[in-house]
Amino acid sequence: MRRKVDEFMEKHGLGVGDLVRVVKREGDERITFEGLVMPPYELSPGETLTIKLDNGYNIGILIDAIEDIEILERAKEAPKMEFKEVLPRKEGLPSVTILGTGGTIASRIDYKTGAVHAAFTAEELAKAVPEIFDIANITPKLLFNIMSEDMKPEYWKRIAHETAKALNSGEDGVVIAHGTDTMGYTAAALSFMLKNLTKPIALVGSQRSSDRPSSDAAMNLICATRMAVSDVAEVMVVMHGETSDTYCLAHRGTKVRKMHTSRRDTFRSINDVPIAKVWPEGKIEYLRDDYRKRSEGEVEVDDRFEERVAILKIYPGVTSELLEFLVDKGYKGIVLEGTGLGHTPNDMIPAIERAVENGVAICMTSQCLYGRVNLNVYSTGRRLLKAGVIPCEDMLPETAYVKLGWVLGHTDDLEEVRRMMLTNYAGEITPYTRFDTFLR
Please identify, using beta-carbon distances, which residue of 292 and 383 lies nearer to a second copy: 383
Are 421 and 399 in contact, with CB atoms under 8 Å apart? Answer: no
| Residue 258 annotated among the catalytic residues of the structure | yes
Which distant-in-sequence residues (6+ apart) come within 8 Å of 78 by Cβ?
112, 127
Q: Does 89 bind a second copy (CB under 8 A)?
A: no
Give the interface segment with a second copy, choosing from 129-137, 245-253, 276-284, 361-369 (CB under 8 A).
Answer: 361-369
Footprint on residues 174-203 left by a second copy (CB under 8 A): 179-182, 185-186
Smallest distance from the beta carbon of 169 to a second copy, in angstroms? 27
Stretch in the footprint of a second copy (CB under 8 A) among 22-30, 164-172, 193-201, 325-333:
325-333
What count of residues does the chain have? 440
Exactly one of 212, 240, 372, 403 binds a second copy (CB under 8 A); that residue is 372
**How many CB atoms lie under 10 A from the CB of residue 150?**
12
Candidate list 180, 182, 339, 344, residue with the active-site label: 180
* DSSP line for 215-236: -SHHHHHHHHHHHHTSSB-SEE
Cα–Cα distance for residue pair 233/199, rounded to 1 Å: 4
Say if CB 203 and CB 237 are below 8 A apart: yes
Rounded Cα–Cα distance for residues 440 and 434 (Å): 12
Shortest distance in whole angstroms from residue 334 CB to a second copy: 11
326 binds a second copy (CB under 8 A): yes
Within 13 Å, how many C-alpha atoms sit on residue 178's CB side? 30
330 near a second copy, rule: CB under 8 A? no
12, 58, 117, 126: residue in contact with a second copy (rule CB under 8 A): 58
* Selected catalytic residue, list 113, 157, 165, 181: 181
Options 48, 50, 101, 104, the catalytic residue: 104
Residue 313 is a binding residue for a second copy (CB under 8 A) = yes
Binders of a second copy in range 374-433 (CB under 8 A): 374, 376-380, 382, 398, 401, 405, 433
Q: Quickly count: other Cβ atoms within 10 Å of residue 268's Cβ.
A: 23
259 is a contact residue toward a second copy (CB under 8 A): yes
DSSP for 72-90, written as a single string: EEPPPPPPP----SSPPPP
8 Å CB contact between 311 and 287: no
Q: Taking CB under 8 A as the rule, does residue 152 contact a second copy?
A: yes
Residue 212 is a binding residue for a second copy (CB under 8 A):
no
For the question of residue 181 being annotated catalytic, the response is yes
- What burial class does residue 27 get, using C-beta atoms within 10 Å of its C-beta: 0-12 exposed, 13-18 middle, 19+ buried? exposed
Question: To the nearest whole angstrom, how small is the minimum distance from the Cβ of residue 375 to a second copy?
Answer: 11
Catalytic residue among 258, 266, 303, 339: 258
Per-residue CA distances from 142 to 77, 92, 100, 299 (Å): 23, 26, 4, 21
For residues 120 and 156, which CB has a smaller minimum distance to a second copy in the complex? Answer: 156
Contact 204, 224 (CB under 8 A): yes
Q: How near is the Cβ of 368 to a second copy at its closest, in Å?
A: 5
Q: Nearer Cβ to a second copy, position 66 or 368?
A: 368
What is Dmax (Cα atoms) for the chain? 73
**Is 32 labeled as catalytic in the residue annotation?**
no
Question: Vertex 188, ends 183 and 194: CA angle to 5°?
Answer: 120
Stretch that binds a second copy, among 11-19, 167-175, 215-223, 324-332 (CB under 8 A): 324-332
Q: Which is nearer to a second copy, 346 or 423 (CB)?
A: 346
Q: Torsions phi, psi of 18, nearest 5?
A: -65, 140
| Catalytic residue list contains 157 | no
Number of residues that bind a second copy (CB under 8 A): 80
Q: Which of 131, 142, 52 is nearest to 98 (CA)?
A: 142
Report 220-249 residues binding a second copy (CB under 8 A). 243
325 binds a second copy (CB under 8 A): yes
Residue number with CB closer to a second copy (226 or 372): 372
Contact pick of 162, 172, 337, 428 for a second copy (by CB under 8 A): 337
3-state secondary structure of 123: helix
Q: Which residues are catalytic?
A: 104, 180-181, 258
